[in-house]
Structure 1
């Protein structure tokens, strides 16, 4: 039952990954030339993903929508109240408006870039509007934020982006295996770890032994004198 639940969750998860609207950067493959580091791109914001992620339409359809991770603002995780407030602030400030961005580098299927709205850095506008910064790997650098680097610095957002690069069938199979492993672990932990106490038959107590006589050794004991044999009368 648990494995089936995990399998259905995997299908829904993989379906959500397949519904990603920003398709300019492929999950697997080279980065488009116009999004190489240092290149400029611009367009209206067609979708806000979270407090520091959005889609910029550089052409027509979803194949021209670039998923941008803001390089100068690091929002809290979307699962927190602060993260949801940051997303609403970003929607109010940028949705439907034109951004001018400069690409820095690629992070999974998105482009880390610095964007400006009417000539002003978007990160500064978000801070001015009261959006809080934070997150698992947030490190303020002169009032800005940077992309987490190094081992053990990946957040839930980076992990989700990495999982989205997997085919739907592979992702579902991985989740099924994890579900089976969890069921086996749960069953193993549910078994008693100690054996039930068994009634043991006690051995009968040994019979009481006669106490040994206390005294000097037999070799040193004095024997009582023998009585003289009676003499026979001579006839």
Structure 2
């Protein structure tokens, strides 16, 4: 069973998410919270597999709550799936930097919410390809390359550690492409792409694909992408 906490300050939204997720045979909602402080305390107590997190909430917002649950220095991070709207681009970027494993839009279908929870619970990162460049590309250039998430030192040292093919794969990850799409673009097998992704994360000291996307934008790699 995938154990989930749902955090949203709007009761109707929260109830809707709980109803959708609890109806799945492999998902159990083990708690609800209406603000950031409550979800941090609850998650630390019950240790869910995934927290479905709103961003804008009274008191402690979803960004800071995510940072406390999954950010740098957290010994046992809790996977967090942020739910947001199109007009909150900058908040989404900050949430990804804070350690979120992915995001969905609030107009996502029930099937997308369910799939998102399963994806994050499995240890994968969830990025909506259609909005990845819009969300991260707009704000990535504002962040100093000297402070990449999950890696020490400046972007140059980390960047020089990647082989040319690994750089190609990273740029396609930054474009929001799935492993299958990357495999097709580079004429590789799916298993080979998985190997490249794992190697990139290990070399750069990153946790997942979300951090890889942020890293690519913060270090100017996404800006160098060609057309594939």
TM-score between the two structures when normalised by the length of structure 2: 0.23
- State the structure with more CA Rg: 1
Q: Which fold has the larger relative contact order, with Cα–Cα distance below 8 Å and residues 6 or more apart in sequence?
A: 1
TM-score between the two structures when normalised by the length of structure 1: 0.22
Normalized per residue, the structure richer in strand is 1
Normalized per residue, the structure richer in helix is 2
